Amino acid sequence: MLVLDGRDNRLKFLGLDGILTATCCPHCVGFLQGPAFNRFTLNGGVEVFPSKLYDGGEKMQCYVRPEDYEALTKNSFVLGKTTVPLFYGSACEDINTVGGFANWVQDWEYTACPHCGKAMKYLAQIQWNTVYDGAEGTLYIEFCPDCYIVSMQHQQT
């Protein structure tokens, strides 16, 4: 869902000397008991953690077609060249942001790191309708800079 290079001067606030990768199934993340998690390595590697569905099931039918997944992999967003105010993302319902403050659809839900227990740091929000047609809601991404763990959660009305 998101790959950021912490060595880019615009991303120095991350405090990472390498690549952060956040990956999840765009369909399943909205049906989990909690956030989806992965661990990243600074060389771009990623380990996806197992998740549980909200109904306790082990599998569900995926409604994202293979061609939609392929389109997702080609949908490269690019960081803007200029900075925006810190609360820019919290004032709009239709933009993607990295850093700043989120525009929570429901209530804020800052996640505790499953490894160290500290509150994770807000990283980004991605509007699903900017990723593929017909999608609804927002994906919120947080990370633990100490443990290299990413949290991804979906909210919608």
pLDDT at 65: 77
* pTM (two decimals): 0.90
Q: What confidence tier does 106 reach under pLDDT thresholds 50, 70, 90?
A: confident
Q: What's the domain range around 146? A: 2-155
* Overall domain count for the chain: 1
pLDDT in tens, 38-85: 999 999 999 999 988 888 877 787 777 788 777 777 777 888 888 888
State the amino acid at position 43 in one-letter form.
N
- Does the pLDDT at position 9 exceed 80? yes
What is the spatial distance between Cα 59 and Cα 57, in angstroms, rounded to a whole number?
6
Tokens of 141: 């991404």
